[in-house]
Structure 1
Amino acid sequence: MTATAPITQDVLTLPRKLPEGGKVNIVGLTRDQLRAALIEKGTPEKQAKMRLGQVWQWVYHWGLRDFAGMTNLAKDYRAFLDEHFTIELPEVVTRQISADGTRKYLVRIAGGHEVETVYIPEKDRGTLCISSQVGCTLTCSFCHTGTQKLVRNLTAGEIVGQVMLARDDLGEWPVPGAPKDETRLVSNVVLMGMGEPLYNFENVRDAMQVVMDNEGLTLSRRRITLSTSGVVPEIARAAEEIGCLLAVSFHATTDEVRDKLVPINKRWNIETLLNELREYPRLSNSERITFEYVMLKGVNDSDADARRLVKLISGIPAKINLIPFNEWPGAPYERSDWERIEAFADIVYKAGYASPIRTPRGEDIMAACGQLKSATERARKSSREIAAEAGL
C-alpha cells in the first residue's frame, strides 16, 4: 500500500482562534478540543465533561448562538462562557434559489474571502455541497472552480459553519417544547464544493467529527461523501480517520486524457490511484466507492472508454455517476449528446455497475457540478482589469 505520510502544501490556514478580544469560537472544535478550551479558560476539570455536553447540545442540537439562552447552566457560568467564547458562523452574503429549488449561498469567511455552498433538495433527501478551500489548486480543465487560484484552506469552523448556516436558512433546528420531528432537510453532506478536501485533511477531518457526532448534527458517516481528485497518500488516512463514503473524480480511462482533464494524474496515475482505492472499502467499512465521470463530447464518451472503465475498476465495489458536463462561459468542452451518454451508461450497467446519469441542478444560478465560482469575484476581477487598462 502507498505510504500515508501527510501531504504538505504552502497554503495558509487561519488558526482556530479568530475571535475578537481573544474569544475562542466554539464552532468547529471537536469534543476533545472544546473540553480542553473550557479547562484552559477556567472550568474545573471535574466539571468539564458535563459542561462540554451541555454546551455541545445547545450549539449543535438546538442551534443556539447566545450563551444567555443556555438555561440549564447557572447564570455565572453563562457569563463565564460569554467572556471567553463565541459562537460564530460564516456570513451569508447572497442566496440564490434556482427554478428547481436548488439554493446557492455565497459565504464570506475570515479575511473577507468568499466560497460557495449549494443545497440540493430531492424527493427523499436534501444534499448540501460544501467547500473546503478558497479556490482550488488542481486546475482541472473542465471545472469552473479550477480557474480560481487557491487562496487558503478553510478552518474546521468554516466547514461546519456551512452546514449550520444552511440549517438556519431552511429552518431546520428543533424548537424546544415542540413535537419531535425526524424530518431532515439536510440529510446528506458532500465535500464536492470548492477545493480538494484531502489537501486540507486535518480541518476536514475535525469538521466531519463534529458533523457526525450523535449528540449534535448527527449525520452518519454513510450520509457524508468526500470527493477527491486522487490525492493517493491521504486516501487510506481518510478511511481510518474519517471513514465516510468516498467519491473519486475519475473522468478518463487513459493517462493521456486524464493528465489533461485532472492534472494531479501526472503525480499519481490511474494505476496508482486504483491500487489504493481497492483497499478503501475494507479500511473504512464502506460499501462501495463512487466514480464520478463527467461526459465530454468527443473526449471521454466513446464505447471504448466505457469498456475500458469497467475493466479498470474490476474488483472494486463501485458505482459510476455519469455527469453531463455543465457548460460555463468560455468552457473548452461541450456536453456529450444525450444518446451518447445513455449508450455509455448502458455498457457500464450491463457490466454490473450502477450507472445513474446525474440530472443537472441549479444551472440557471451557476450552482451545478463543476460550476462553483463566485460571480462577485468575477465581477471584481473585471473591475480591476478595467481600471488597469484605464491606467487608474
Structure 2
Amino acid sequence: MALPDISSRRDLYSLTRAELQQQLVQWGLKPVHAARLWKYLYIDLVSSLDEMPELLPALAARLRAEMTLGVLPTTLETASSDGFTRKYLLSLPDAATIETVLMRFTGRVTACVSSQVGCAMGCVFCATGQMGYTRHLTPGEIVAQVVHVARVLRGEAPAGAVRRQTRHGLGTRLRNVVLMGMGEPLHNYDAVMQAIDILLDPNGPSLAAGRITLSTVGVVPGILRMAAEQRPVHLAVSLHAATQGERAALVPSARKWPLDELMAACRTYSATTGRRIFYEWTLIEGQNDGVDQARAVGALLRGLPAHVNLIPLNPTTGYDGAPTRTEAATRFKQVLAEEFGLPSTVRQRRGIDIAAGCGQLAVQAR
C-alpha cells in the first residue's frame, strides 16, 4: 500500500496555540477543542497521532488527513562516561540530521538545541561551522528537540516514583533551553522566535523566559530586532577576541558585522531592554587566554551590564587548537573581577568523551 504524501502537511509542533485554534475554526470546529490537543502535545508528550483517544472524531480525522506530528527519530545516541551528558543525532524528514544535547547540572537539566542544519557563520574552531550551511530548521523542528528531551526525562522516572505536583508528571522536568547547538539562531530569526513563543506558552511547555538563552555569533540586525521587539529571553554573544583583526580570524562573520558595530548593537540592546548580555569567550591555549586578552575584554565591556562565560575549547579535528589550562582560566577570571568588576563563570565542560561540542557528532556520523 502506498504511503500517504505528507510533504504538504503542516507540522503540529510548528503552530502556536492561537494558530491551532484558528485552524480548527477553518475546519468548522470549535476552537475549544484545541485545548485537549495542546495537552496531548506538550503535557502528555504523545509521540503519535494515534495516542490521542479523547479527541473529537472529526478533529482526529482532519489531523490524520492534513497534519503531521513532527517527532524526530533518533539516528544515534551517545552518553558520557560521567552520566551528565547525553547527545542525540536526530533525523529530519529530508534525511538531514541535527544534534540535541541533554545536560545535567546540580539542580537543573538543560537541553541544547539546534536552529539550522549546519551553519553559514564559519567559526574556525566550531565543527558546525566547518560543516557549512544546508538549511534553516522549521519552528516545529526546533520545538520537537525540546519535546524529545522532555520525553526522555519522563521515561527515566524511577518505577513507583511519586507523581510530582506538576502537569509534567513523573521525573525531572526540563527547565532550561539553550539555542547553542548547530546553526546561528539569529540567521533563522522568524522560525526561532516562533519556536520560543510555543515553548513559553503557559498552557504547554511552560518554560520561563529567564530559562531560555539564545546564543549568537554577532548577527547585528537580529540583536537590534530582539531589542526592538523586547524579546524576554536571555541573549548570549560570542566574542572570543577583543579586537577586530583577532576576532575576524576566529569568526569570519565579523567581517560583515565588525566588532565596533556589534558592540554598538549590544549597547542599544541593553539600553532598550534593561537586560544584561552574556558574553561568551572560548578559551584557546596560548591564543586568547592570557592576561592581556583578559584586560582587553574587560576594557571592551566596561560600563555594560555583562556577564562573561569562559568556555574552554572543545577540540575539533578541523582546528589546530587546545583548551586552556585550569590555571589560565582561573587567572583570566580573576583579572576580570579584580581589575574591572566583571562577573564571569568558567563553564563546566560536558560530554568531551562523546563529541558534545556542537556539530561534532554529526561530522563523525558522516
- Normalising by structure 1, we get a TM-score of 0.84
CA distances 1:276-305 after superposition (whole Å, capped 9, x unpaired) = 11122344453x211100111222122111
- Asked if structure 1 preserves the Cα contact closer than 8 Å seen for 2:213 and 2:234, the reply is yes
C-alpha distance in structure 1 between counterparts of 2:99 and 2:311, whole Å: 20
C-alpha distance in 2, partners of 1:246/1:60? 25
CA-CA distance at 1:73 after TM superposition:
3.6
Distance 1:331 1:68, change over 3 A: closer
Shift of 1:189: 0.4
2:126 counterpart of 1:138: no
- Give the Cα–Cα distance (whole angstroms) in 2 for the partners of residues 262 and 305 of structure 1: 16
Change (3 A) 1:219 1:319: same
Contact 1:23 1:84 in 2 (8 A): yes
CA deviation profile, 1:82-141 (whole Å, cap 9, x unmatched): 333232212111111101220000011121101111111011111111001111111111
Tell me the distance in 1 between the aligned counterparts of 2:244 and 2:105.
35
Shift of 1:211: 0.7
Which of 92, 99, 104 is matched with 1:116 structurally? 99
TM-superposition CA deviations, 1:228-250 (whole Å, max 9, x none): 00000111222326321000110
**Runs of at least 5 residues in structure 1 that lack an aligned partner in the other structure:** 1-17, 378-392
What's the offset of the Cα at 1:354? 1.6
Report the alpha carbon displacement of residue 224 of structure 1 after superposing the two structures with TM: 0.4
Within 2, Cα distance between the matches of 1:22 and 1:113? 18
Write the distance in 2 (CA, Å) between the matches of 1:292 and 1:184.
28
Aligned to 2:356: 367
Aligned to 1:148: 131
Query: How many residues are aligned here?
Result: 354
- Whether the 8 Å contact between 2:224 and 2:265 is mirrored in structure 1 is yes
| Alignment RMSD (CA, Å) | 2.4
1:222 is matched by which residue type in structure 2? Answer: G
- Mark the CA change 1:81 to 1:373 in structure 2 (over 3 Å): closer, same or farther: closer
Structure 2 contact 89–361 (Cα < 8 Å) conserved: no
Gaps of at least 5 residues in structure 2 are none
Shift of 1:56: 1.4
Residue identity matched to 1:314? R
Tell me the amino acid that sits aligned with residue 216 of structure 1. G
Q: Which moved more, 1:118-127 or 1:276-285?
A: 276-285
**Compared CA separation, residues 285 and 325, structure 1 to 2 (3 A):** same
Q: 1:71 to 1:179 in 2, by over 3 A?
A: farther
**Is the Cα–Cα contact under 8 Å of residues 301 and 340 in structure 1 kept in the other structure?**
yes
Question: Which one of the candidate residues 330, 347, 356 is aligned to 1:358?
Answer: 347
Once the two structures are aligned, what percentage of the paired residues are identical?
35
Describe the shift of the 1:68–1:298 C-alpha distance in structure 2 as closer, same or farther (beyond 3 A): closer
Deviation at 1:184, TM superposition (A): 4.2
Equivalent position of 1:20 in the other structure: 6
- Name the counterpart of 1:259: 248
Q: 1:371: Cα distance to partner?
A: 4.1
2:298 to 291, 307, 310: 310
User: In the alignment, is the contact (CA less than 8 A) between 1:360 and 1:368 conserved in 2?
Assistant: no
1:80 aligned residue:
62
Q: Which position in structure 2 is the counterpart of 1:274?
A: 263
Q: Does 1:249 align with 2:254?
A: no
> 16, 20, 32: which one pairs with 2:18?
32
